[in-house]
Amino acid sequence: MSKTPIKHLAIIMDGNGRWAKNRGLNRSKGHEAGAETIREITTYCASHISIETVTFYAFSTENWKRPKLEVEFLMRLLDTYLKNEIDTYQKHGVRFKAIGCLHQFSKSLQKRIAKTEELTKTNTNLTQVLALNYGSRSEITGAVNKLMAEGKTSVTEKEISAALQTPYTDIDLLIRTSGEQRLSNFLLWQLSYAEFTFTPTLWPDFTAKELDDITIDFEQRSRRFGGL
């Protein structure tokens, strides 16, 4: 029975639309407010002693089904966010990485992502991963196909883990905001031994203070990883 610190935190950000609706605003305002929350939470994680990686679910493979105008808005917001975020990344020592099928994004957005990764690659306080056009089943299928293309006829768990797009440590804690309690095809493999926290708070209202309370609660939990 051991108490382990959080090294890898994953977050399903949900509730931007409801946050905006509650205020009589357009959904896009909820997404803008949600982007501010990403900054606040990333800054908290960079100052947290044990957290090495924080992975945010920013755009799923299913999100293309949203109205065209909302998808276009999210793409522009992502581009602006990355452009404006460089100062925060450098100030807090944050390395930026993206996972997902990035080739489906516009060439200019792909360039922005690559440039941000390049500019921040030597930062060591925290790795911020944005899951973009990400789906876990697609990631696992890609890993298996990659191993088969290398000529493997049988594979180990270690080989699958290494072939995934996320070569980071297993996730210790998953948080989902807005009261929904589902995984939505997010990091299924990497969440095998994670602890879960579901909060009714809508993502734009989520704060570093609430995350701090959740991390304190996490540190009290006993994780047995199947042992006694």
Positions that interact with ligand FPP (CB under 6 A): 13-18, 31, 34-35, 38, 58, 63, 77-78, 81, 130, 203
- Smaller CB separation from ligand FPP, 64 or 196: 64
Nearer to ligand FPP, 94 or 147 (CB): 94
Distances (CA, A) of 116 to 29, 31, 83: 24, 21, 8
Closest CA to 55 of 190, 182, 219: 190
CB of 77 to ligand FPP, least distance (A): 5
CB of 162 to ligand FPP, least distance (A): 27
How many Å apart are CA 17 and CA 30, to the nearest integer? 6
Catalytic choice (14, 16, 123, 133):
14
79 tagged catalytic: no
Angle between helices 107-119 and 68-92 (to 10 degrees): 10
Instruction: Give me the least distance between CB of 74 and ligand FPP, in Å please.
Output: 6
**26 phi/psi in degrees, rounded to 5:** -70, 150
We find the least distance from the C-beta atom of residue 38 to ligand FPP, in angstroms, to be 6
Residue closest to ligand FPP when measured from CB atoms: 17
- Strand ranges inside the chain, DSSP E: 8-12, 53-60, 94-99, 126-134, 173-176, 195-198
Q: Is the Cβ of residue 17 or residue 135 nearer to ligand FPP in the bound state?
A: 17
Verify whether residue 14 is a known catalytic residue: yes
Nearer to ligand FPP, 77 or 160 (CB): 77
Tell me how far apart the alpha carbons of residues 160 and 146 are, in angstroms, rounded to a whole number: 9
Catalytic residue among 16, 22, 63, 212: 63
Q: What is the dihedral of CA 190, 196, 201, 204, to 10 degrees?
A: -20
Which H or E element spans position 184? none
Q: Which residues are catalytic?
A: 14, 63
